[in-house]
Structure 1
Amino acid sequence: MLAGLVPPEGPGPLDGIVWQLMADDPTLLTAPTLPLGDLITAAGYVCDGDVIAAAGFDFAAHRGKSHAAKVAAAHHLTDQETDSVMAFTALIGVLEHTPDDERERAVDAVVATAGDRFAHLASPNAARAAFGEAYATLDAGTDTLHRAAAVLRDRGTPRPRSPPDRPDRALAGGQGRRTRRSDHRRRAALRARGVGGPELGRGTRGAGPLRVRSR
């Protein structure tokens, strides 16, 4: 009976599912029996608070994904920025709740696991979301934020550099500037030798290489 009501891809509302079972079978739960939790477990399901899912479902991971989606929507984050914010909140949690004599090892583990996930905290939206989560959700103190900033400064990942949109244009621009400087030097040398008229000094932006006609 539960198989048709509990979503196969994730948890469902426990109250709603139980009410639906009772509506489908009015005799259900009218006689003394095992506690409801035991019946659910015997049927191959497990509860977490007010939700129910198939046995083995990772509720913690599901809550993390749901929270990350809410943070991303609230702050207009990209997937990479959301990942950076979640890595930062994991670091804050370790700094806040790990005993002093274990904190350094725990921070090392978080940094090693995060890899380059901190990189997109350089985004203004991600930075606002990260500090909002630290203050509002995790209730982090100022000292914790200072320690987190020190970790990011010393062991975090620098912001990734975006490649030029058109490297061929950048290269062509450099070549063009070198060509114009070379033409300018040749004109100056020719004027010093008395070759050419006033038109020799005119700009030739976009023109071809300078040619001198033999006399």
Structure 2
Amino acid sequence: MSNSVRSLARRAALAVAAGAAAVVLAACGGDGAEPAAGHGDAGSHGPTGTPSVTGTPSVTGTPSATGAHNPQDVTFAQGMIPHHRQALEMARLAGDRASSGAVKDLAGRIEKAQDPEIRTMTGWLKTWGEDVPRAAGSGMDHSAAGHSGMPGMMGDEDMAALAKLTGRAFDRQFLTLMVEHHEGAVEMARTEQSKGGYGPAKAMAGRIVTAQQAEIREMNGMLDDKS
């Protein structure tokens, strides 16, 4: 073979080798720029390498429509159950002691509204695995010592004195005590509205505020008529 032919063959071989090397280098450069598929956390990056929005939600994320309950919801239910129980005890005294038909009607409405709420709050506490307040002995747990700091609760002496009254004297004392009792319930319900997390509990608190404020106005009007 002549020298010129061998020179041409050598140049062609070098050109082929150079092209193959370029392909290899390009492939290596690509591996350094992005992780290969299947490496790392699969599905943890989007098309541009940014973190994906899918995955486990944050524990501090937005709650559901009803909201997870919080300690205030438990406090609300555990406090409002005995508070309502005492209101029911007072209302039931009106049946054979009150002289006013308006007082008896009000007492009936209080019982009709608050008894179902007690059952609802009891269900919440059981679902949450929390203690349900129990009545003391055969009567209601209305002692001041048992519910220190709970607004509007009557002590044993107040309840015993009310039970001894009849007629107009009962009507006036019942209305006076129930106004104070309702004001305490409204205060407790407003705390739940501002600090609670469980939607149904906050909604109940709103209904308590609306209904009992209206009854406070009604009772104050009745007291004015009896003065």
User: TM-score range with shorter-chain normalisation?
Assistant: under 0.3
- TM-score, normalized by length of structure 1? 0.27
- Which structure carries more strand by proportion? 1
Ranked by relative contact order (alpha carbons within 8 Å, sequence separation 6 or more), the top structure is 2
User: Which is higher, the Rg of structure 1 or of structure 2?
Assistant: 2
- TM-score, normalized by length of structure 2? 0.26
